[in-house]
Chain A
């Protein structure tokens, strides 16, 4: 098996044993990016220092230093995260070429654990979207079908792992931006408990919802990344001071676990809806049967207020975003556009923001400004905050009856590029399954459960646990992953079509 098809855990073992070097592993992934990324467009920037970093890790290992489990393993980083030495644009024209003067805490932790940053991945501008079509730098394409969306906002990170351009990646999830791309690309993604992973240096979208998390092809790999990036950070005032268990250990225990007897799995009635794509519902119910056959008790739970979750989310998010994005004012960083004939600093700001923001960002800033304006605040933002309380109560009641909740990760498989681009409301409704977890701050995992019979595209299941019980996701996720792969006889991503090398790359390497 070639290096790019190995998991991060497997690469870590081969690196530790000296069977391969980090330079070899990193070069294999850079070659893969060169071969397929013209078509996939998962990356906005490839790290020119990647091989140098890999060589430094190899040198440390050769000198006998004790290194972490993922030392020398390459990782892709969503462009919403600030990185020294690499541009960080959040997919926006207003930050084109901006190189931050500091690393996000999660990036600093990757570097401290000797992972090798491969580059920055594409995303919807400021993480506003479900398809990456709102990136100012053009969409990412789904490796399963290049005419389809890879999900969003973190479509770049999900496509990068699904196309074997990187074994693991970082994402961020405000309303599903890690879990929905995982669903439509057949990969794994985790939104940790709110506050359990630092957001310092993550360019803020909606501060009461945003959470950084791992993107991978296996449950164990997500857990290994989570162990590296998680934990208290004094630079993030919302960071939790909890001591966290090893999620990798939870995943390893889950992978070995034979029986799920005693585990109560709650199916959220409102998220198992008749409007969902037939193949999505079919694979979801087959997964439930598989879990039941392993001994889990499947119970139905009701969350009546989830019906209002999308509406509350599209008030809270724009309100917070309109405030967070006020920092893009043409003064301290990023673009500056001087209007014809000059003008005051406010005229310059308005011209800059007109030129630098894309249509979806403008739409949400204006919506948020409206929701927060005098006379409307109580009716909209105030009411949305109350709905948030009701959704938390629904979760509390559901978790009294079940240890873990499940739903399909997304109502459909990957839709076609352009299909929902001109219908913002339809795009928003795509997040119906993932938004409740963000509103309540609880952790959620997306993992693949098969291909929809009607279109042959990946379907994902979402697992949700109470706040601070992220370990339950890794334990159950790893058991389900093993049960499914035993049933199939292979991993899901091994069924993805071979990506033809782009013609330009083939010509350069003499293949044509």
Chain B
């Protein structure tokens, strides 16, 4: 059986920056447990002699010439922002009080 407990889900949600409710933690604990039990079978055939594949079509050294291209203007980049000061994105405090 998997090791998915409510505490594991709370920890993962913290890492993923999602403020789950307690009822979501409860339902995800059960769902993820059964999903993980089913996908853990990959280890049955993943023996040490098999190389991993990260990308389906092998590609190497995808470079372009180091010449400035066309980029978004500041105005375009800020157009969809929830808050900005005209030249920068604006956010709330970066550090908490205890920091």
Contact = CB atoms under 8 A, between A and B. Distances in A.
Interface residues of B, number: 56
Contact of A348 (B41, B59, B89, B91): B91
A365 B18 contact: yes
A331 B82 contact: yes
Residue from B36, B38, B40, B57 having most chain A Cβ neighbours under 10 A:
B57
A47 interface: no
A384 B14 CA distance: 25
B46 A383 contact: yes
B83 interface: yes
B15 to A, nearest CB: 5
Nearest to A385: B52
B56 A389 contact: no
A425 B32 contact: no
A9 interface: no
Contacts, number: 185
A387 B12 contact: no
Given A311-B40, A332-B80, 18 more contacts: A195-B59, A308-B45, A311-B39, A314-B35, A331-B81, A332-B81, A336-B83, A338-B92, A342-B93, A343-B96, A344-B94, A345-B93, A350-B17, A353-B19, A366-B16, A366-B32, A367-B32, A384-B39
B55 A349 contact: no
B32 to A, nearest CB: 6
Contacts of B77: 101, 332
B42 A333 contact: no
Interface of B: 4, 8-9, 12-21, 24, 28, 31-32, 34-36, 38-47, 50-57, 59, 62, 64, 72, 76-77, 79-83, 89, 91-96
Contacts of A365: 16, 18
B54 A311 contact: no
A195 B20 CA distance: 36
A98 B42 contact: no
B24 A362 contact: yes
User: Which secondary structure dominates where chain B touches chain A?
Assistant: loop
Chain A, interface size category, equals: 35 or more
Interface in A195-225: 195, 208-209
Contacts of A390: 45, 50
26 contacts: A209-B56, A238-B62, A311-B38, A314-B39, A330-B82, A330-B91, A331-B89, A331-B91, A342-B93, A350-B19, A354-B19, A362-B18, A362-B28, A366-B18, A369-B15, A373-B15, A379-B40, A380-B42, A382-B52, A383-B46, A384-B42, A384-B46, A388-B56, A389-B52, A390-B45, A424-B35
Given A315-B39, A331-B82, A441-B56, A373 B12 contact: yes
Nearest to A193: B57
A467 B58 CA distance: 11
Nearest to A387: B42
Contacts of B16: 322, 353, 365-366, 369
Contact of B53 (A237, A389, A438): A389
A414 interface: no
Contact of A308 (B17, B42, B54): B42
A386 B45 contact: yes
B50 to A, nearest CB: 4
A208 B56 contact: yes
Contacts of B79: 99, 101
A354 B28 CA distance: 14
Interface in A325-372: 326, 329-336, 338-339, 342-351, 353-354, 357, 359, 362-363, 365-367, 369-370
B42 A366 contact: no
B82 to A, nearest CB: 4
Contacts of B38: 311, 425
B86 to A, nearest CB: 15
A282 interface: no
Nearest to B93: A344
